Structure 1
Amino acid sequence: MQLAVRHETHYDYDTPLAYSAQRLHLWPVDFASQRVLSWSITAPGFDNALSYSDGFGNRVHMITFGNITGPVSIVAKGIVDVTDAAGLVRGLSCAAPEAVFLRQTKPTMANSALRSLGEKQFANRGVLDGLHALMAEIHAKVAYELGSTHAHTTAAEAFADGRGVCQDHAHIFIAACRSAGIPARYVTGYLVTGQGASSTAAHAWAEALVPDLGWVGFDPANAKCPTDNYVRVAAGLDAAGVAPIRGSRRGGDAERMRVEVRVEIAQQ
């Protein structure tokens, strides 16, 4: 299936922006079940961007710009052809050793409740069956509720509250996996819900390493493995590590950010 994506991040400031340096995780890469047919990024300074592949296999761009008095927009858009592989991720280069994905970060640090969650799902089950059970359990216990958490909410906090968004579902899944000794990583991308439908937000899920099978995606927010309705953009240890746009600036007081995402099934 071919999916058309447009992701715009718009910034307004009360004072001129003197200088800005930003890291972009906005460019999807090819692997066995995903092929980028066309993609572009429009942003100040992008013509001189530093582009590289990081240790997790992500395509990253570093941009710098300054002396801007008006608003700033960063737009990523393109068309991606995706095949349903039942969540299996093959043919994706990743230089980082698998053990790196056992490292707990602040958002994914497991407390006793999350360790118990993992232990319960993997008891008397194989890894793959346990991962499916874990995904279903998180979906059942943590309600999807916009505005119930914020960018710095940890997995432990969201699980205790029983509410969150896709970022929280993914962090909880990762925390439970890593506490059980299963490498897991955080994934950003896009999701469209079906034929004739469109999505208006970016999405996040997780991938776990299954022995003798490889990396497999799990989306606890929707209780399913990624299909051809998903576009995978970047992966890392947690949400902060693969934020679509992250950096620093001088000037540009009282920053206001607005994000608009549209994902549709492309005309074929």
Structure 2
Amino acid sequence: MKLRIVHETVYRYDRPVRNLVQSLRLTPSIFEGQRAHDWAIDVSGGIRGPGFRDGAGDWIEGWTVRGPTEEVVVTITGRVETRDTAGVLRGYRELINPLAYLRDTAATRPDGALRDLAATVADATDSLDQSHRLSAAVSDAIAYAPGRTAFHTTAAEALEQGEGVCQDHAHALIAVARCNGLPARYVSGYLHVTTTGEAREAAHAWAEIHVGSLGWVGFDPANRCCPDDRYVRLGSGLDALDAAPIRGIAAGQGIETMDVTVNIEDLERLQEQSAGQTQS
């Protein structure tokens, strides 16, 4: 699939801030399932700093905005070619030992209910079967319901509530996988459409579980599938905060608000539609 992505994040402050420093994890990962073209990142009024590839294989670059300013716009544009690898992260280079992803965080720390959910797959035939069944269990336990949870909602809280969004599904799957000794991590990225064609937030999140000789395999409980060619992978971490596409700090007393818009277009479908209109 050939996708064109435009992602804009607007930060506004009720009082001018003096300076703003951001760390951006907004460049598509390099592996067999995707390849980026003409990828560009721009920060309004910003000065691009050094970039580096971290131990997890993510490209991170720093930006500085010198104020005073009341608004900062981060814009990402580019094209990505994707193909379905059945969720397996083939050809991806990183240095971190998978066992590092057994460590809990505040967002993924299991309670009794999460441990009970993890125990429901005790009769799984192997780690891959176990991972698929854990993902399905999370899908059944947490209904997709936008607006019912917040960024700081934990996996335990989402399970107790029985509702959440992709972030909550990912956190819960990570928690139950780690309960069973499976390294698991949070992944941020984009999703073109759901399996049913239903429109949801194009900025998306899912989990990866380290499954024996297969290595890292993606699971998306929010859509009951493994990532395919509709998905674009940006970066990963122990949880949503650790894998956040944009992290930053502002110098000043202004209260920050944020608006995010993501537009993803299937270029091949657009070409087909254009050709059909021309013929008609």
Give TM class, smaller chain. Answer: over 0.9
CA contact (8 A) 1:29 1:58 kept: yes
Q: Does 1:232 align with 2:230?
A: no
Which residue number in structure 1 is paired with residue 276 of structure 2?
none
Deviation at 1:200, TM superposition (A): 4.5
Letter in 2 for 1:168: D
* Alignment-derived partner of residue 8 in structure 1: 8
Counterpart in 1 of 2:19? 19
SS at match of 2:25: strand
CA contact (8 A) 1:198 1:262 kept: no
Q: Give the total of aligned pairs.
A: 268
Shift of 1:44: 3.7
Within 2, Cα distance between the matches of 1:70 and 1:76? 20
1:207 aligns with 2:208: yes
Aligned pairs for 1:243-254 within 5 A? 243-251=244-252, 253-254=254-255
- Give the aligned partner of residue 117 of structure 1: 117
Q: SS of 2:265's equivalent?
A: strand
CA-CA distance at 1:254 after TM superposition? 2.1
What is the root-mean-square deviation of aligned Cα atoms in Å?
1.8
Determine if contact 2:39/2:78 at 8 Å carries over to the other structure.
yes
Q: Which residue of 1 aligns with 2:56?
A: 56
1:38, CA displacement in angstroms? 2.1
* Greater Cα radius of gyration, structure 1 or 2: 2
Structure 1 27/46 Cα, relative in aligned 2: closer, same or farther at 3 Å?
Answer: farther
Code of the aligned partner of 1:230: Y
Distance in 2 (CA, whole Å) between partners of 1:217 and 1:46 is: 34
For 1:167 and 1:57, locate their aligned partners in 2 and report how far apart those are by CA, in whole Å.
21
Q: CA deviation at 1:113?
A: 1.4
Cα pair 2:18 2:251 within 8 Å, conserved: yes
Rounded Cα–Cα distance in structure 2 between residues aligned with 1:194 and 1:143? 15
Tell me how far apart the structure 2 counterparts of residues 194 and 238 of structure 1 sit (CA, whole Å): 23
> Tell me, what secondary structure is at the counterpart of 1:89?
coil
1:25·1:60 contact (CA, 8 Å) conserved in 2? yes
How far apart, CA to CA, are the structure 2 residues paired with 1:132 and 1:72? 41
Distance 2:180 2:94 in 1: 22
SS at match of 2:263: strand
The answer to whether the 8 A contact 2:14-2:70 is kept is: no
Identity of aligned residues (%): 44
Equivalent residues of 1:7, 1:76 under 8 A apart? yes
Q: 1:82 — aligned with what?
A: 82
Aligned residue number for residue 222 of structure 1: 223
| Other-structure match for 1:160 | 160
Shift of 1:48: 2.8
Cα distance, 1:69 vs. partner? 3.0
1:17 alignment partner AA:
V
Q: Deviations over 1:150-183 (max 9, x none)?
A: 1111101101110110000000000000111001
Structure 2 match to 1:173? 173
Helix, strand or coil at the partner of 1:39? strand
Gaps of 5+ in 2: 272-280
Indicate if the aligned counterparts of 1:18 and 1:67 stay in contact, CA closer than 8 A: yes
Q: TM-score when scaled to structure 2? A: 0.91
Per the TM alignment, residue 75 of structure 1 is displaced from its structure 2 partner at its CA by: 0.6
